[in-house]
């Protein structure tokens, strides 16, 4: 697969724009009426004020440092996602593919530190959140029939895949976010998850208005029975002692607490749209999530 991060400067932007605009030559179709996609690349390194990373990952068994939100600094206006979120220990999977390749694009560090692409991964209009959008007709990974614009946890400055166990250490992801759009026919989207070595372990899933935790295809517990699109909420997922707790807005009392003994685990965050044209949705139908704050710690 062609890694767009190897193309530099304006040439990289022109290549991806051309790939998305000429959808017949690409492995996926972009949302209609969007005027195509545009790539923004910044030469400011990790973004305004620089990205920061903590050292709390020593207990994770993966050798990677924990990541925290708030990459931007100095009160300057954000212009790319890395200005708002610390993306050092993440990679991004997009619902579009390079010309001549049906696989979804992956953007890794150091390219991710300066990367933005409208409408799939960019700042919202108020510059206080990162928009993740995946259309139903988008490119999918080999183990899924659904498209995603989603971060996957990494370690060692984004060079290695994160992999930890629910039975060793304490692993926490906190996301402040809002689900802002759903496909029309199958209005389902996943907005955060723990994946293990083979499958999803727990997922934060919205089906129409029902927000809940799913695992192994089962409803593990309700978070909000009447969620309204655009409502901001905070999720905290904690994996430790062979169990996973999910907190919803109240960070003191978990809404869901389930036994989960798993290894090869990693966090994911963004928009994983649970529909495609075979479900009746148009290729341009999409799921969308805005992430305002994101942090991961391993102890």
pTM of the model: 0.80
The pLDDT value recorded for residue 277 is 98
The pLDDT value recorded for residue 142 is 87
Distance CA 157, CA 81 (A): 17
The pLDDT value recorded for residue 98 is 84
- Location of structure tokens 């965050």: 269
Q: What is the mean pLDDT of each run of 10 residues along the chain (299 residues)?
A: 37 36 41 54 37 35 43 70 98 92 95 98 98 98 94 98 98 98 98 96 98 96 98 98 98 97 98 98 98 98
The pLDDT value recorded for residue 76 is 78
Which of 183, 136, 111, 146 has the alpha carbon at shortest distance from 268? Answer: 146
DSSP secondary structure code for residue 98 in this structure: -
Is the Cα dihedral 47, 119, 150, 152 positive or negative?
Answer: negative
DSSP secondary structure code for residue 145 in this structure: S
The pLDDT value recorded for residue 141 is 92
- Can you tell me whether residue 186 is helix, strand or coil? coil
The pLDDT value recorded for residue 28 is 47
CB atoms under 10 Å from CB of 67, counted, come to 30
> What does the block give as tokens for 70?
């708030």
DSSP secondary structure code for residue 67 in this structure: B
The CATH code of the domain that includes 92 is 2.60.120.200
Backbone angles phi, psi at 81, to 5 degrees: -55, -40
The pLDDT value recorded for residue 31 is 56
Residue-number span of the structural domain to which 294 is assigned: 4-298
CB atoms under 10 Å from CB of 194, counted, come to 25
Q: How many domains does the structure of the chain reveal? A: 1
Distance CA 31, CA 195 (A): 28
Q: CB–CB of 246/216 below 8 Å? A: no
Partners of residue 177 on adjacent β-strands: 233, 291
Pairing of strands 148-155, 90-93: antiparallel
């Amino acid at each position: 697969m062609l890694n767009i991060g190897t193309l530099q400067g304006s040439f990289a932007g022109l290549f991806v724009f051309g790939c998305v605009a000429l959808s017949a030559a690409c492995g996926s179709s972009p949302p209609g009426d969007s005027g195509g996609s545009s790539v923004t690349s910044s030469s400011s390194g990790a973004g305004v004020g620089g990205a920061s990373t903590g050292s709390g990952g020593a207990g994770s068994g993966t050798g990677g440092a924990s990541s925290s939100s708030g990459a931007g600094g100095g009160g300057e206006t954000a212009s790319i996602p890395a200005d708002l979120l610390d993306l050092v220990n993440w990679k991004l999977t997009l619902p579009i593919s390079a010309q001549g390749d049906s696989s979804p694009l992956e953007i890794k560090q150091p390219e991710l530190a300066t990367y933005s692409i409208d409408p799939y991964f960019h700042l919202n209009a108020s510059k206080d959140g990162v928009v993740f959008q995946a259309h139903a007709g988008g490119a999918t990974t080999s183990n899924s029939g659904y498209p995603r614009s989603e971060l996957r946890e990494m370690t060692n400055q984004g060079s290695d895949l994160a992999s930890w166990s629910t039975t060793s250490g304490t692993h926490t992801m906190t996301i402040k976010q809002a689900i802002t759009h759903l496909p029309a026919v199958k209005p389902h989207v996943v907005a955060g998850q723990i994946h293990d070595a083979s499958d999803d372990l727990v997922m934060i899933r919205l089906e129409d208005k029902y927000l809940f935790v799913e695992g192994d295809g089962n409803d593990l517990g309700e978070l909000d029975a009447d969620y309204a699109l655009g409502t901001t909420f905070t999720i905290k997922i904690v994996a430790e002692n062979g169990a996973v707790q999910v907190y919803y807005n109240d960070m003191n009392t978990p809404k869901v607490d389930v036994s989960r003994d798993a290894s090869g685990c990693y966090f994911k965050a963004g928009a994983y749209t649970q529909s495609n044209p075979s479900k009746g949705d148009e290729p341009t139908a999409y799921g969308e999530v805005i992430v305002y704050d994101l942090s991961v710690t391993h102890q």
